[in-house]
Chain A
């Protein structure tokens, strides 16, 4: 390989051709290893403000790049590419394309908050990591994982009813993720529950599953929570320059099918 600065070249930027002729010259093999331009050609001047507008990201502008957060980081000890200090810099300088290269690992923060306690500038890096994940999600850079769908279903049910009912939770989670309800492990679990649980408890579970109970006097709390959630998500989407329509549509859909 004729390239000396291997560490600067990301594998996805390498181009190699087994057979390549340019202007009549055969440049096949390693001679034809080309690298896409690494040049950063512009700053996204909104990026820092966008992260600062999301919960947890408010103090990102205080960072002086000492690296205490990365040195203290639990995840960094396992994966050296997980570098909060670096991402904070990218956000502050508006280097969005660089940030997006790490979109698959940014969300791996385990919220241990060691960085929060060690940070000499009170940046709250753990909060920044939350804001970053949130930003990636809102901007559509992160695919919705089954865990995120589960959280949504769970939260919707709590807001609507003030409590959860496991059977309904599982059914709706499966429906929304396109999974069949008759999965072997689930059928087996239901069979054993029926065989081993006391009759009284089974009856109560069955009734709960049918009636989907609600915390008494919950409607006031539900409305307040819904209002707050909508207000917040609208504000976040506005700050990121996104339309507020998607969130409203989802709320409507869940309202119509819930109950």
Chain B
């Protein structure tokens, strides 16, 4: 019997890697530090996913159930990896609970951490209860309570979504684009308009990056069908007049300062490198790239590879990533891992 493949992280990428490998009869050990599988979409309570429109609890929940029902997958919850010794085809992984396992390959699917808006105090998060994050709005929608102002539970009449909160901001050491927040914000804006037709939604942007096919499905649909307003302005500060939130900035296309009252302000928070990446890098002996994500090898000859042979990476662990692409990368990583545990088949 060949050695199992170790998959670290039970989010979309980890679940997809587990499905890919078990589908061809390969044993896997899936370790997850949280108490349940599902990753950010489940643990943070996402609502409808981009671009399928399926509820996260159905789409990602389905992936969880398939892995849990798979006899070839050993799932270890509340577990991290303390150290990894050995080389390709012959690794020895030691877990946080002292147990150890011999594995042939490792796939890191350790994901990201949501940006903490407290790091941008000028935008009012933590000071005013009606300043929330996209993750919180996702939770309001997925919990079925609807979008309401946390201060008094009223339905907002006017909502501002601020893009690039914790992204593209050298001031706080986060120069990267988090890639998906523009599209997620357009999706949330349409959801708000659908739930609350009298509520107007404004998106304050630096650039809009609803890339690829999202251009029509999110950027234009949100404007043409849902009358979402996009205003080119980086907001200077969010304050309050005691009743409503006051958003201050400059409408750069009109060259005019704006001071507009809002009921709710939503931060489109970006993807930080996983807060544990430094200990992950130490435990697995892999390098981090300058921003703090796991460093990738080149995509042409060494797809899904990290700096350490036999240790692969998929999903947002290596940089901001969409769910769909995380899943695709996990399949690529599975294809790279398989020859290390089935060398005979690989050469056949």
Contacts and interface: CB of A to CB of B under 8 A. Distances in A.
Given A48-B227, A61-B224, A61-B227, A39 B258 contact: yes
B256 A98 contact: yes
Given A40-B251, A61-B223, A61-B224, A93 B231 contact: yes
B259 interface: yes
A42 interface: yes
A120 to B, nearest CB: 13
A42 B227 contact: no
A62 B256 CA distance: 23
A237 interface: no
Contact of A40 (B158, B200, B224, B254): B254
A92 interface: yes
A98 B255 CA distance: 11
Interface in A5-49: 8, 38-43, 45, 48
B253 A43 contact: no
A70 to B, nearest CB: 12
A65 interface: yes
B229 interface: yes
B51 interface: no
B257 A38 contact: yes
A89 interface: yes
Interface in B235-271: 251, 253-261
Nearest to B248: A39
Nearest to B232: A65
Contacts of B223: 61-62
Interface in B109-162: 158
Interface string B183-203: 000000000000000001010
A41 B251 contact: no
Contact of B229 (A40, A86, A93): A93
A52 B315 CA distance: 44
A89 B229 contact: no
A95 interface: yes
A69 interface: no
Given A62-B224, A92-B229, A93-B229, A40 B255 contact: no
A39 B257 contact: yes
Interface of B: 158, 200, 202, 223-224, 227, 229, 231, 251, 253-261
29 contacts: A39-B257, A39-B258, A39-B259, A40-B251, A40-B254, A40-B256, A40-B257, A40-B258, A40-B260, A41-B258, A41-B259, A41-B260, A43-B202, A45-B158, A48-B227, A61-B224, A61-B227, A62-B223, A62-B224, A65-B253, A86-B254, A89-B253, A90-B254, A92-B229, A93-B229, A93-B251, A94-B229, A95-B256, A98-B256
Interface of A: 8, 38-43, 45, 48, 61-62, 65, 86, 89-90, 92-95, 98
Closest 7 CB pairs of A and B: A39-B257, A40-B258, A45-B200, A39-B259, A40-B256, A41-B259, A89-B253
Given A41-B259, A94-B229, 8 more contacts: A41-B258, A43-B200, A43-B202, A45-B158, A62-B224, A90-B254, A93-B231, A95-B251
